[in-house]
Structure 1
Amino acid sequence: MSSDLSILVTLNEHYLPQLEVMLTSLHASNPGENVSVWLIHRSLTPEQLARLERRCGLLGFSLHPVTADARLFADAPLTRQYPQEMYYRLLAAQLLPEEMHRVIYLDPDILVINPLRPLWELDLAGNLFAAAAHTGKTELANSVNQVRLGTDHDYFNSGVLLMDLDAGRRWINPEALFDFTRRHARELLFPDQDLLNMLYGSLVLPLDDAVWNYDARNFNNYYLRSGGDCDMDWVFAHTSVLHFCGKAKPWKPGYRRRFGPLYRHYMRLTQLAMPD
């Protein structure tokens, strides 16, 4: 296994500022790590990529932009609800170089506040992905999703994924993925996440969401379900990934939830390191 951390992001220009904040937090919480940032996109401009490359250079990271091959998506059902970008994380194995064997996918609306190496070195035990389900505080929603999608496993969040790329090249067929999407379009409320669960949920190694995909909306629920152990000190000592799920986002005016000041701290560090 490579000693370098390989991080995958897939986005358009609207989430570039949040990506820069996420990378700032990743650098601060993973001192001494060599990090390769792989970016799959289709529409970023040379100027936008140059800015991101400068940001990565300041952090000591290497940036590897990958322009998605449009030919791969020639038969994909593409609409406003199902943009091409929604397929990128599931088709990462087909889009990234064959010499890559694993990668950690991260949504841009994330802060990394503790090391990622334990996740990077996790034994996937033959599974395609490792992911967390937000089950302890949302059992009703989890059950509803199981009924809605006809699955018998927890509903995994696709915002943090450890991927076995070799397994993805064996098991994920783009044509079959597109055909499934076409046939089940009416059932997909959260398209890429629903596809992950419907098609590959049985090949997901469950992760502890309190460590690897902490839903920043739900401090009180984590605290209560842990009997008071999962307090703020516990989060700062043990949680690696804070995920700002949902419509309310900490970079927007009026955000008043608990982890908003922490996010704005990293926003400020990001701006100080490379002023506009």
Structure 2
Amino acid sequence: MPTDTDADDLAALLERGDLEVEGRLSHASNAVYRVVVDGSLRAVYKPVRGERPLWDFPDGTLAARELTSYLISRLGDWHRIPPTVLRDGPLGPGSLQVWVGPLDVTGDHDLLRVDPPGKLPEGYRPVVQGQDEYFADVVVSHADDPALREVALLDAVLNNADRKATALILDDGDLFAIDHGLTMHEEPKLRTVLWGYAGEPLTADETAQLTDLQGLLATDQLRDLLAQLITDTELIALDRRIRKLLRDETMPAIPPHRHPLPWPLW
């Protein structure tokens, strides 16, 4: 995991480096490109003009939500989101994030798995039971891993509406979380594959983490910075989510009134 100094240096390189497009990522729903920064650092470039219109998120706001999520991850001491900036690129302004993980974009790991009912391996937490494409009963589960729990709590703060398994990347044993364009909405939209921790009590460290973040978000300097990226209503909703987590003293419960899972899961 990069130190704060490493992250600052990488962010500075992202902001000022020359960009060369390697190619477009064909699996992405929006226009997403892998680029090389200053001939050495690989990164993911998501131009605003390539964002597909969505019914529930304002047009042209996903890149700013990527940066907002990164800033909150840093400020909250999660450090699970790769260094991210906003800048002009070959296709106009957009988000630019350090590439993590393998270059083949396989996303293969054992953090999440699918098993027949009753065959859940030790050390995994069930998320949902259903049927596969052959109508066989299956259980989707995720590893009981401290790093995954960190991401689950971060997603609750960010109100992440799209935490898929493929947005969890292992890089030399370190867990990173990517794809944060669908975050920070004013309405509850948490959709995630990490519901295995639902309703569990917060640890003392998690409570302190949230309390510290709440204090930082109360400062004029930080609020002024975030107000350039998201709306005042979304800022208020962010504060309310943190307050609710601290008041409930638990990880979020699975909502009964709306769909709690992203689609597809992977």
TM bucket normalised to smaller = under 0.3
TM-score normalised per structure 2: 0.26
TM-score normalised per structure 1: 0.25
Greater percentage in strand: 2
Greater percentage in helix: 1
Greater RCO (CA < 8 Å, at least 6 residues apart): 1
